[in-house]
């Protein structure tokens, strides 16, 4: 089982890397462009297999430790991107989004090489029916923000308004709703576990700051001057905060979420 988890992990890294390169090269070459989507889809299936193997190995959903979260985060990022490409028929952001997936998978291999290969019983605080809904909505939110950031980055590089703009707004609407659910479900859980629904724990605070930047994005988006470049910069800044809330807070600051 461990061997399969490792195999699928490295294979998904390889496929996501090939997909990212194909998307970049595919901007000038139709063959690469067509292959990129297929390689990404195969990469997603392999990523999914790694998650399934992990489920079979641990006997629970892969939503508990940092590496499980990142593996799910990478998989859903690719899935949302593939859905976007099918719907929009635009693939210009594929290279950036697959690049994000590559960094995520690589971070598991570099920062937490053994976490997926071992299993520990859940600590009492994590034994809650709220765990699945809280973490799963966080995976959806983070994955959506990653795709929106990829689209925003391409918009900024192109330096012109394109069709992508409305998609960024749509994907961010979904992700913002998911982030709101994550925060509220986490607050309900915290109230049950610790008796405090909001403790200003570093993770809560930075999730709150992330929520605020996206709330500002939605308020300002009504104004025309905040719909182009400025909005895209905000989306990128929001995603940097998302990454800091996960990596920065987990690995630099100790708090109630220090097990994640």
Partner 1 sequence: MRKIYAYISSMKMGLYILIIIGVTSAMGSTFFPDTFFQSYIFQAGLLLLLLNMSLCTIRQAKTFWQTVSLGKEKGGVKRIGVIILHAGIVLILIGGTVNSLIGQKADISMTNGEVINLSDVLSDNDPLKIKLNEFYIEFNPDGSPCQYFSKVSLIKELGDSQEFTISVNNPLAYNGVKVYQQTFGYLLKVQTESDSRAVTKKTLREGDVLQFEGSDKSLKFVRYIPNYDPRYGMISRTTRPDNPKVIYAIYQNNSLIKAGIGSIADKIEIDTVSFVTLSGIEYYTGLGLKQDPGLPIAAAGGILLMVGSCCPLLMRRKSK
Query: What is the Cα–Cα distance from 77 to 3, expressed in whole angstroms?
Result: 25
The yes or no reply on residue 237 touching partner 1 (CB under 8 A) is: no
Query: What is the Cα–Cα distance from 132 to 129, expressed in whole angstroms?
Result: 7
Give 193's Cβ-side CA count (13 Å radius): 19
The yes or no reply on residue 109 touching partner 1 (CB under 8 A) is: no
The yes or no reply on residue 247 touching partner 1 (CB under 8 A) is: no
State in angstroms the smallest separation of the CB of 189 from partner 1.
8
Among 134, 115, 113, smallest CA distance to 125 is for 134
Where do runs of H (alpha helix) occur along 59-163? 66-88, 94-111, 130-158
The yes or no reply on residue 236 touching partner 1 (CB under 8 A) is: no
The residue range among 5-13, 96-104, 158-166, 182-190 that interacts with partner 1, by the rule CB under 8 A, is 182-190
Q: Is 58 helix (H, G, I), strand (E, B) or coil?
A: helix
| Choice from 176, 234, 235, 242 touching partner 1 (CB under 8 A) | 176
Among 193, 179, 79, smallest CA distance to 131 is for 193
The yes or no reply on residue 10 touching partner 1 (CB under 8 A) is: no
Among 59, 102, 105, 73, smallest CA distance to 178 is for 73
The yes or no reply on residue 120 touching partner 1 (CB under 8 A) is: yes
Give me the 126-165 binding string for partner 1, x by CB under 8 A, dash otherwise: -xx-------------------------------------
Note the residues at the interface with partner 1 (CB under 8 A).
Answer: 120-121, 123-125, 127-128, 170, 173-174, 176-177, 180-181, 184-185, 187-189, 191-195, 197-198, 200, 202, 205-206, 208-209, 212-213, 215-216, 219-220
């Amino acid at each position: 089982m461990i061997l399969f988890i490792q195999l699928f992990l490295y294979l998904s890294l390889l496929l996501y890397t090939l997909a990212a390169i194909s998307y970049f090269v595919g901007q000038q070459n139709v063959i690469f462009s067509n292959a990129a989507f297929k390689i990404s889809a195969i990469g997603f299936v392999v990523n999914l297999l790694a998650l399934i193997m992990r489920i079979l190995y641990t006997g629970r959903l892969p939503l508990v430790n940092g590496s499980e979260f990142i593996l799910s985060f990478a998989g859903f990022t690719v899935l949302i991107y593939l859905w976007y490409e099918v719907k929009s028929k635009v693939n210009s952001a594929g290279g950036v989004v697959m690049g994000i997936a590559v960094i995520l998978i690589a971070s598991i291999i570099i920062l937490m090489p053994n976490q997926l290969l071992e299993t520990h019983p859940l600590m009492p605080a994590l034994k809650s029916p709220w765990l699945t809904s809280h973490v799963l909505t966080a995976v959806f939110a983070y994955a959506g923000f990653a795709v929106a950031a990829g689209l925003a980055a391409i918009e900024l590089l192109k330096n012109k308004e394109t069709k992508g703009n409305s998609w960024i707004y749509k994907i961010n609407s979904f992700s913002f709703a998911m982030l709101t659910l994550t925060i509220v479900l986490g607050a309900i859980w915290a109230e049950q576990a610790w008796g405090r629904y909001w403790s200003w724990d570093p993770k809560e605070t930075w999730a709150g700051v992330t929520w605020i930047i996206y709330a500002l994005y939605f308020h300002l988006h009504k104004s025309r001057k905040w719909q182009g470049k400025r909005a895209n910069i905000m989306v990128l800044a929001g995603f940097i905060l998302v990454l800091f809330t996960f990596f920065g807070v987990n690995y630099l600051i100790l708090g109630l979420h220090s097990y994640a």
